[in-house]
């Protein structure tokens, strides 16, 4: 099986090849059991499409408008050394036989399933039997996901941190169908290289030209090399036993239950050691970044209460504060440059990791109307309204600490209320953003404030009702209420 020519992509109508996906007029739907795998598949397919098409910005624009023909795909394929995309070779490198390797069940490759032995290991899905046998075709997306999206800590001391840092947020463009989604996230090679201003980066794949040295300097890593950057030697022993794959649901004549790994000893700029060695963060095209005095970092989900709307401004427009500069992911900037027109959907996904545990998942789709990028100021207004209501709610709730009650008890009350607001605001913000082309900035901000404030007030009133017979607490909440009500006075 070769990933650039053969059928390995699981869809609701069977397995298809990348060529079929990109060149046929049929609308295919991916079929993978976990949204995490689905998101990784979108990233991997768009990266593979970049390797084959290597489009310039203008060419990519045409592909998005007119599609890719079979002849174009075949011609492009002639420029690729296919052997590196064979199933036995793709994203796998070998190690000396004397090295001790680690064997683990494939279950460990699903970051939502807890099967670690560390005391703090925790997963989101409870049953490990949900995924313990997979087909050989699905090994590739799980391998890719391990390298790009899973934190090294989830494997304890034998875990490695990949080029993106693990736990980084992904923002992808979601097109009207699978084909346009993959094309919209394909990287325009000329635009990417121009931005980086690097004369001759190494573009060889890492399993073709293995990485050497303690520090992996970002400026030496070219686009194709970085898109599939390795952090482990890895292999998947294949058993001659038929299975129904727990990932794609298809029947297969062979199955895979375990994988072998050994981490590379060097460090990317995504780790503390790499940063201190001046490796710099490699600008992964699917990740928004934030530049601070200490360097450039990928944007990550912050904690369990975090929802993606809170950083939405950073995902779609550059934002500068005194202390930092946030930059949207390359694919988002590229999409604006392509000026394809029409409405656009933004897919935001990632894990919320805490040491060895995955404590949450983010998977949100934002629909943006046509010409959304002409109205970025309006997007900021909506997000800022949500954040200022959040601040006021927090300050109002802080009054409860004045009662002298147990701090943990009060903190618990506050956290629950804050979490409720942040979580309910997610839907409200997504709805409001649908109107950024139709409503003036001022009106949009007024509406955002009104709706989000109503939400915060409802949560607050509920808390007051619950504690109306607890006089100290009730009095504190009455004091706090004034702060909440004064959000309106913020200038519009």
Nearer to Zn ion, 168 or 252 (CB): 252
Q: State in angstroms the smallest separation of the CB of 245 from Zn ion.
A: 3
Site string for Zn ion, 137-176 (x = CB under 5 A): -x--------------------------------------
Q: How far is CA 406 from CA 6, 397, 473, in A?
A: 63, 15, 12
Nearer to Zn ion, 16 or 247 (CB): 247
Q: State in angstroms the smallest separation of the CB of 339 from Zn ion.
A: 38
Q: State in angstroms the smallest separation of the CB of 106 from Zn ion.
A: 11
Nearer to Zn ion, 131 or 352 (CB): 131
CB 140 within 8 A of CB 87: yes
Nearer to Zn ion, 209 or 251 (CB): 251
Nearer to Zn ion, 9 or 218 (CB): 9
What residues does 364 pair with on adjacent strands?
Answer: 348
Q: Is 183 in the site for Zn ion (CB under 5 A)?
A: no
Nearer to Zn ion, 248 or 346 (CB): 248
Q: Is 135 in the site for Zn ion (CB under 5 A)?
A: yes
CA 313 to CA 323: how far, in whole Å? 16
Instruction: Give residues 195-254 in contact with Zn ion (rule: CB under 5 A).
Output: 245, 247-248
Q: Which helix (DSSP H) or strand (DSSP E) does residue 367 occupy?
A: strand 357-368
Q: State in angstroms the smallest separation of the CB of 8 from Zn ion.
A: 9
Q: State in angstroms the smallest separation of the CB of 247 from Zn ion.
A: 5
Q: State in angstroms the smallest separation of the CB of 250 from Zn ion.
A: 6
Nearer to Zn ion, 40 or 163 (CB): 40
Which residue, 90, 13, 16, is CA-closest to 48? 90
Instruction: Give residues 420-479 in contact with Zn ion (rule: CB under 5 A).
Output: none
Q: How far is CA 443 from CA 372, 382, 435, in A?
A: 16, 10, 11
For residue 84, the Cα-to-chain-centroid distance in whole angstroms is 26
Burial class from Cβ neighbours inside 10 Å (0-12, 13-18, 19+) for residue 468 reads exposed
Please tell me whether residue 275 adopts helix, strand or coil conformation. Answer: helix
Name 403's Cβ contacts closer than 8 Å, sequence gap at least 6: 410, 472, 473, 476
**Binding piece for Zn ion, criterion CB under 5 A, among 132-140, 183-191, 420-428, 478-486:** 132-140
Q: State in angstroms the smallest separation of the CB of 138 from Zn ion.
A: 3
The residue whose Cβ lies closest to Zn ion is: 245
CB atoms < 10 A from the CB of 168, how many? 26
Half-sphere exposure of 24 (CA within 13 A, CB side): 11
Which residue, 144, 151, 155, is CA-closest to 165? 151
**Binding piece for Zn ion, criterion CB under 5 A, among 65-73, 84-92, 127-135, 275-283:** 127-135
Q: State in angstroms the smallest separation of the CB of 39 from Zn ion.
A: 16
Half-sphere exposure of 166 (CA within 13 A, CB side): 24
Nearer to Zn ion, 140 or 280 (CB): 140
CA 254 to CA 256: how far, in whole Å? 7
- Side by side, the strands of the sheet bearing 319-320 are 295-298, 289-292, 325-327, 319-320
CB 297 within 8 A of CB 281: yes
> Residues touching Zn ion: how many (CB under 5 A)?
5
Nearer to Zn ion, 59 or 137 (CB): 137
**Binding piece for Zn ion, criterion CB under 5 A, among 114-122, 135-143, 296-304, 432-440:** 135-143
The tokens for 470 are: 């607890």
Q: Which helix (DSSP H) or strand (DSSP E) does residue 326 occupy?
A: strand 325-327
Please tell me whether residue 359 adopts helix, strand or coil conformation. Answer: strand
Q: State in angstroms the smallest separation of the CB of 416 from Zn ion.
A: 40
Q: State in angstroms the smallest separation of the CB of 239 from Zn ion.
A: 14
Q: Is 16 in the site for Zn ion (CB under 5 A)?
A: no
Nearer to Zn ion, 32 or 297 (CB): 32
Give the footprint of Zn ion on this chain (CB under 5 A).
135, 138, 245, 247-248
């Amino acid at each position: 099986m070769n990933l650039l020519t053969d059928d390995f992509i699981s869809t609701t109508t069977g397995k298809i090849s990348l060529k079929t996906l990109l060149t046929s007029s049929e609308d295919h739907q991916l079929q993978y059991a976990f949204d995490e795998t689905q998101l990784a598949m979108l990233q991997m397919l768009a990266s593979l499409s970049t390797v084959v098409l290597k489009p310039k910005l203008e060419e990519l624009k045409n592909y998005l408008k007119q599609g890719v023909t079979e002849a174009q795909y075949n011609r492009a394929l002639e420029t690729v050394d296919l052997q590196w995309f064979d199933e036995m070779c793709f994203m796998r490198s070998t190690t000396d036989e004397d090295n001790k390797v680690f064997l683990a069940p494939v279950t460990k490759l699903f970051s939502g399933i807890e099967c670690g032995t560390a005391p703090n290991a925790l997963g989101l899905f409870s049953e490990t039997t949900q995924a313990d046998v997979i087909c050989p075709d699905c090994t590739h997306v799980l391998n890719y996901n391990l390298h790009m999206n899973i934190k090294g800590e989830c494997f304890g001391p034998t875990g490695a941190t990949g080029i993106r840092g693990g736990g980084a947020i992904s923002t992808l463009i979601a097109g009207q169908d699978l084909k346009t989604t993959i094309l919209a996230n394909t990287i325009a090679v000329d635009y990417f290289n121009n931005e980086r201003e690097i004369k001759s980066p190494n573009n060889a794949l890492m399993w073709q030209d293995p990485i050497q040295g303690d520090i992996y300097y970002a400026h030496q890593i070219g686009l194709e090399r970085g898109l599939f950057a390795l952090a482990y030697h890895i292999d998947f022993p294949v058993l001659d036993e038929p299975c129904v794959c727990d990932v794609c649901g298809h029947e297969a004549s062979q199955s895979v239950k375990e994988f072998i790994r050994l981490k590379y000893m060097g460090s990317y700029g995504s780790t503390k050691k790499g940063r201190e060695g001046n490796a710099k963060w490699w600008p992964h095209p699917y990740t928004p970044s934030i530049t601070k005095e200490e360097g450039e970092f990928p944007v990550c989900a912050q904690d369990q209460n975090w929802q993606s709307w809170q950083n939405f401004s950073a995902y779609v427009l550059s934002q500068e504060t005194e202390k930092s500069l946030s930059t949207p992911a390359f694919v988002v900037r590229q999409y604006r440059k392509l000026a394809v027109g029409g409405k656009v959907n933004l897919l935001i996904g990632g894990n919320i990791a805490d040491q060895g545990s995955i404590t949450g998942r983010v998977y949100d789709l934002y629909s943006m109307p046509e010409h959304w990028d002409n109205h970025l100021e309006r997007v900021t207004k909506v997000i800022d309204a949500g954040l200022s209501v959040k601040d006021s709610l927090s300050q109002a709730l802080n009054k409860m600490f004045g009662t002298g009650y147990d701090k943990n008890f009060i903190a618990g009350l506050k956290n629950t209320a804050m979490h409720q607001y942040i979580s309910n605001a997610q839907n409200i913000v997504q709805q409001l953003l649908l109107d950024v082309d139709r409503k003036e900035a001022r009106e949009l901000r007024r509406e955002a404030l009104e709706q989000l404030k109503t939400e915060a007030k409802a949560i607050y009133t509920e808390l007051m009702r619950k504690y109306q017979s607890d006089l100290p607490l009730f009095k504190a909440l009455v004091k706090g209420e004034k702060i909440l009500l004064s959000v309106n006075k913020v200038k519009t």
